[in-house]
Amino acid sequence: NAGVTQTPKFRVLKTGQSMTLLCAQDMNHEYMYWYRQDPGMGLRLIHYSVGEGTTAKGEVPDGYNVSRLKKQNFLLGLESAAPSQTSVYFCASSPTGEGAVAKNIQYFGAGTRLSVL
């Protein structure tokens, strides 16, 4: 059971470098999310997507871009990394639909630990 898979698991960047974090889910979920988690700050939503080809900004979108070209994949890009983007990044997905609450549970990937020097 793969669930939500994030790559890479670890990465070190220099200031100004760019990179893309990949999230893939095999549960046929419509919704996908990117969070960052910093000590004492909890999970903060960066961007999210309600379906293939659509994205929206969350609480802390500056410095990040996303794309959802395929339903199962959600990419997070850093065009010019800054030390303030050192964090642990989590991807999550959830199904849609009213009714049974269980359909809206978010399932998380294992995270990507990013350091920007």
Query: Residues in the site for other proteins, rule: CB under 8 A?
Result: 4, 31, 33, 40-45, 48, 50, 56, 90, 94-96, 98, 101-102, 104-111
Q: Give me the least distance between CB of 21 and other proteins, in Å please.
A: 14
Q: Give me the least distance between CB of 39 and other proteins, in Å please.
A: 10
Burial of 113 (0-12, 13-18, 19+ CB in 10 A): middle
Q: Which is nearer to other proteins, 40 or 62 (CB)?
A: 40
Q: Give me the least distance between CB of 57 and other proteins, in Å please.
A: 11
Q: Which is nearer to other proteins, 16 or 97 (CB)?
A: 97
Q: Which is nearer to other proteins, 109 or 116 (CB)?
A: 109
- Check the CA dihedral 21-89-57-74 and report its sign: positive
Q: Which is nearer to other proteins, 16 or 51 (CB)?
A: 51
Q: Give me the least distance between CB of 104 and other proteins, in Å please.
A: 5
Going by their DSSP bridges, the two strands 10-13 and 112-116 should be labelled as parallel
Phi, psi angles (nearest 5°) of residue 26:
-115, 25
Cα–Cα distance between 48 and 66 in angstroms, integer?
Answer: 8
SS3 102: helix
